Amino acid sequence: MAEKAKNVGASYYIKVIIGVCIVWFFGFIPAPAPMTALGMKMIGIFAGTIYLYSVAGLIWPSMMAVVAMGFSGAYENLAATVTAAMGQGTLWQIICLMPICEGISRSGAAKVIVDKMLSIKSLKGHATRINIVMLVAAFVIGILSSTIAAILIAFTIVNSMRDQLGYKRGDGWAAGMTVSAFLAAFLGGSTIPFRGLLAAMVVPVGQVAGTPLNNASYILCTIIIGLIFCALMPVVLKTVLRVDMSKLENFDPADYAEGNKFNRQQGILLAGFAVIMLFFILQIFVPAKSAAGTFINTFGANGIFPVVAIILALIHVDHKPVLDLPVMLKEGVPWGIFLSIAAMLCVAAKFTSKDAGITAWLNGVLGGFVSGMNPVVFVLVILLLTIIITGCMSNYATCVIILTVALPFCPVVGVSTMAMAIGIIFSSCLAALTPGGGAPCPLLFSNENVSDSYGKLYKNLLPMLVTFWILMTVSVFVMGIFI
């Protein structure tokens, strides 16, 4: 992934200087007890780096963050800091998984998946079913490939059907489905905690709660929640927004029946991904103390990702590897994100540590307010804050801050800590409230079906976010029964 070109001028250097000063000098501000001087340094490095990401991209601010951590006193020395940043299994998992996802994206398998789903005969004459299948397709593509690729494919589907069925640009159905498809694809890309900054967002759970988040549980729970959300959005369009869906009666699944077969390369790539998903399902249901469970948990993501990638690289179709690892590693791994994850992993490890005192300070500030709160109100408030804040700033920063604030209080108010963690992380990923909420957001705010009016966009977006908020709240309590 290439770094976005920046306009270099006086304002750019002023912003860079501000960010650098926050990283290096914020720690000299006296810390409020019980936070320590180290805690103030952690806040400065964390906040300054996040700010510089929006100004100067991901690469050199990440490098500087690691150097700053090395001189902060959080680690024994700079060498130990580099080891903490680059010696993470998370980075190995990203290197091994991203080429597989890039290979699936480039193979054209996503388009075949969409055509297969839309060619289901029972869709004919059923508007809600058609909309649900379209959103599920966008969600599935988000799981299999990158979020941005899934969003672009989803927008193409919506526009194609808009023109085919006789809707006009910006009509209620086109605007509503554009927003819904965006959210579905966005959430699909947020179900696998080994890609992008999501890989770093799950790390603070173990540091704050004392028990690492089970990645397999996260994947299964978020996929189920995402699919339910895909089913609810068309209902909201029909019952709340009163979108005219009458023209969907003219939809003919036969139009998508031709050319919807996977070629050998696509089939093998998808089979490889299916093996990975099956592995995580087994992690959940195979007893951990059994011989099989011990092997599966020991092997883990660090083993299954490279093994599948190697097998896919060894299989040849038409004298070409199914997965061209050298090309996919060169072009399919977002190295800017890779470095930012490395930097944030070593920052997050100390941000929530006892030596920093940040968690203790937050507990002291918020303890009286939260301790007597009703569990339902607690979850509603935390998730609402998460959805609002992540829509206005870095989803990683939002996730770390909210996890640090909320998780210590979960046992106090009677909410499952792990279920709450999943709710916060998944909600942090839905950074759709403003154009600057996340990297894919400009795609939505500039889309031809909604770009002519923010009123039209938010008319469709806000009911969907409220629906997700309520669904996520209910899901936290349901997940709490099982995990």
Integer Cα distance of 44 and 28 in angstroms: 9
- DSSP-assigned letters across all residues of 351-370: HTSTTT-HHHHHHHHHHHHH
Q: 199 in a domain, yes or no? A: yes
Percent of the chain, pLDDT > 90?
A: 46
Per-residue model confidence (pLDDT) at position 1 = 38
Per-residue model confidence (pLDDT) at position 3 = 46
Integer Cα distance of 125 and 161 in angstroms: 14
Higher pLDDT, 174 or 337: 174
Name which of 223-227, 440-444, 458-462 the model is least confident about.
440-444
Q: Which tokens go with 132?
A: 């649900």
Q: 56 in a domain, yes or no? A: no
Q: Are 434 and 441 within 8 A, CB to CB?
A: yes
Higher pLDDT, 370 or 180: 180
Q: 295 in a domain, yes or no? A: yes
81-110: per-residue pLDDT in tens? 999 888 777 788 888 888 998 898 888 888
Q: 400 in a domain, yes or no? A: no
Question: Region 215-227: what's the mean pLDDT?
Answer: 94
Mean pLDDT score of the chain: 88
Cα–Cα nearest to 107, from 311, 316, 315, 322: 322
Q: 226 in a domain, yes or no? A: yes
Residue 387 has pLDDT above 70, yes or no: yes
Domain residue limits at 206: 91-332
pTM of the model: 0.82
Phi and psi angles of residue 374, each rounded to the nearest 5 degrees, phi first:
-65, 140
Q: 42 in a domain, yes or no? A: no
Cα–Cα nearest to 101, from 152, 146, 139, 149: 146
Phi and psi angles of residue 317, each rounded to the nearest 5 degrees, phi first:
-125, 125
Integer Cα distance of 43 and 55 in angstroms: 18
Q: 472 in a domain, yes or no? A: no
Cα–Cα nearest to 90, from 301, 284, 283, 330: 301
At 452, is the pLDDT very low, low, confident or very high (cuts 50, 70, 90)? confident
Residues in the chain: 483
Counting the structural domains of the chain, the total is 1
Question: Region 291-316: what's the mean pLDDT?
Answer: 92
Residue 5 has pLDDT above 60, yes or no: no
Question: Region 333-339: what's the mean pLDDT?
Answer: 81
136-173: per-residue pLDDT in tens? 999 999 998 778 888 888 898 888 888 888 888 888 99
Helix (H, G, I), strand (E, B) or coil at 320: strand
Q: 401 in a domain, yes or no? A: no
